[in-house]
Chains A and B, each alone.
Chain A
């Protein structure tokens, strides 16, 4: 029996469903589906990267080689060049050293007091003191720069106001003293600004000394020099003294009991001489029973006064 029947094939060709076609919607669906399937899609950069990497077909050995090369390159760069982090640390260390040197003068003021109290100390202490004094202007400059950068807006305004009011009466040479005073006080401005009981303006203000109200609170026990400091302020007082040729250093003799301070008055007349400047030391009796704020302010005024005198000495010692 043949596996091909021509009669059946002829019948099949003439069957009524021979020319039937699928629905138009089916045709449309199929063609759209196919067109969409091969439509180029917009690939993201990430997918492109993946495709590129996929196309590379790197072997494990190649991968290991590339990794080794990258590590070797990194090590070579680290050996040849200074690691950035180390460089940054090195810079910051230099800065710290510079800052610590610049801050030192504040601490050097009490040291001067110690020197004054120990007049009969050996010569080596004198040398140390003079060395410290030599460094003072340099430190002052550093502090001035620092002060300018850290000075609050109201402190600067206060300084300008003070300069205007004093400008007429100040001797040209004393302009330097103003700068020094501001410079030496500047770090304290930063400190006192954060201390509510003291305030920042009084320290710098020459027109209205800060210590005035505080020191005036000391009532009957106020020393005349302290009173002048309170009224005029350390800067104005120092200027006046310099103009008058009354070159001296101030020292506070503080007593816990006011009566003892009175008793101490007998010894007040015993004058002593500053070992560095050879200026007379004027002692201020001060009774600070419980007014710590006043005591602190007075100390600052005295320090400022002494700094100005010290500066005057260093600029005019020859």
Chain B
């Protein structure tokens, strides 16, 4: 039933006083948002993920009238904007923020990816590979500057467009594009250096 209504419809119902609409919204976005917060905060600050997550929703409840005032505003964009700013606040307080534009581009690092299997996890071996790759990716994400990390996560995990990301992180389109490019390049290099291609694994005795 919750899929029948768009996020914005549910949010409007909630603003009109229907608490159950909020429960549906929460259920729909609970896990993705929590994942985003955890991954953005990184391993060092993961303990504060619950706090940031809770603050984000409470802020959303308190500021529901301001959302209502903005016509045609995307609920998801607004939700991730609140979460992003709260998480960045925590990161800044912990002095772990790294310059967003800091980075390097190593074209050679892309080489191992050419040998990786297709991004499909139908076979058990493939699933195991990608699970291992996932864990490795989380480790690699910790090495990225926060804003590159945020841009990558919003684009690859949460499916936001570049335009939407510009709203969430409050940055220019080209800046976002640049950050994303840097993030992908670094992650590829990080992943290729530590994760053997599945063909190599198979050939290993």
Q: Do A and B come from one complex?
A: yes
Which A residues are closer than 8 A to B by beta carbons?
A: 1, 3-23, 26-27, 29-31, 33-35, 37-40
Knowing A1-B185, A31-B23, A37-B62, the reply to whether A11 touches B137 (Cβ < 8 A) is: yes
- Whether the Cβ atoms of A10 and B121 lie closer than 8 Å is yes
Nearest residue, chain B, Cβ from A23: B50
- Whether the Cβ atoms of A17 and B187 lie closer than 8 Å is no
Nearest residue, chain B, Cβ from A31: B23
Closest approach, in angstroms, between the C-beta of A68 and any C-beta of chain B?
Answer: 37
Against A, the Cβ 8 Å flags (1 = close, 0 = not) of B45-69 are 0000110011001100110100000
Report B-chain residues with C-beta under 8 Å of the C-beta of A14.
121, 127, 130-131, 133-134
Q: Of the candidates B19, B119, B181, which one forms a contact with A35 in the assembled complex, judged by CB atoms under 8 Å apart?
A: B19
- Whether the Cβ atoms of B14 and A22 lie closer than 8 Å is no
Nearest residue, chain B, Cβ from A39: B19
Which B residues are closer than 8 A to A by beta carbons?
A: 14-15, 17-19, 22-23, 26, 30-31, 34-35, 38-39, 49-50, 53-54, 57-58, 61-62, 64, 113, 116, 119-121, 127, 130-131, 133-138, 152-153, 155-157, 162, 177, 180-181, 184-185, 187-188, 191
- Whether the Cβ atoms of B187 and A20 lie closer than 8 Å is no
Q: Of the candidates A3, A6, A16, A31, which one forms a contact with B134 in the assembled complex, judged by CB atoms under 8 Å apart?
A: A16
- Whether the Cβ atoms of B30 and A22 lie closer than 8 Å is yes
Knowing A8-B137, A17-B38, A38-B19, the reply to whether A3 touches B57 (Cβ < 8 A) is: no
Closest approach, in angstroms, between the C-beta of B154 and any C-beta of chain A?
Answer: 12
Closest approach, in angstroms, between the C-beta of A106 and any C-beta of chain B?
Answer: 81
Cα A27 to Cα B58 with chains together (Å): 11
Report B-chain residues with C-beta under 8 Å of the C-beta of A33.
57-58, 61
Closest approach, in angstroms, between the C-beta of A2 and any C-beta of chain B?
Answer: 8
Closest approach, in angstroms, between the C-beta of A284 and any C-beta of chain B?
Answer: 99
* Chain A to chain B contacts (Cβ below 8 Å), 13 pairs: A1-B184, A7-B113, A7-B116, A8-B188, A11-B130, A11-B134, A16-B138, A20-B31, A20-B35, A22-B34, A29-B54, A30-B26, A38-B19
Report B-chain residues with C-beta under 8 Å of the C-beta of A13.
130, 134, 157
Closest approach, in angstroms, between the C-beta of A17 and any C-beta of chain B?
Answer: 6
Nearest residue, chain A, Cβ from B18: A38
- Whether the Cβ atoms of B134 and A4 lie closer than 8 Å is no
- Whether the Cβ atoms of B155 and A3 lie closer than 8 Å is yes
Cα A40 to Cα B187 with chains together (Å): 50
- Whether the Cβ atoms of B38 and A3 lie closer than 8 Å is no
- Whether the Cβ atoms of A16 and B135 lie closer than 8 Å is yes
Report B-chain residues with C-beta under 8 Å of the C-beta of A39.
19
- Whether the Cβ atoms of B30 and A8 lie closer than 8 Å is no
Report, nearest first, the 7 A-B pairs whose CB atoms are least far apart.
A15-B134, A10-B119, A11-B133, A14-B130, A14-B134, A35-B19, A30-B57
Closest approach, in angstroms, between the C-beta of B10 and any C-beta of chain A?
Answer: 12
- Whether the Cβ atoms of B181 and A8 lie closer than 8 Å is no
- Whether the Cβ atoms of B19 and A12 lie closer than 8 Å is no
Report A-chain residues with C-beta under 8 Å of the C-beta of B58.
30, 33
Cα A39 to Cα B22 with chains together (Å): 13
Report A-chain residues with C-beta under 8 Å of the C-beta of B157.
9, 12-13
- Whether the Cβ atoms of B162 and A3 lie closer than 8 Å is yes
Closest approach, in angstroms, between the C-beta of A244 and any C-beta of chain B?
Answer: 103
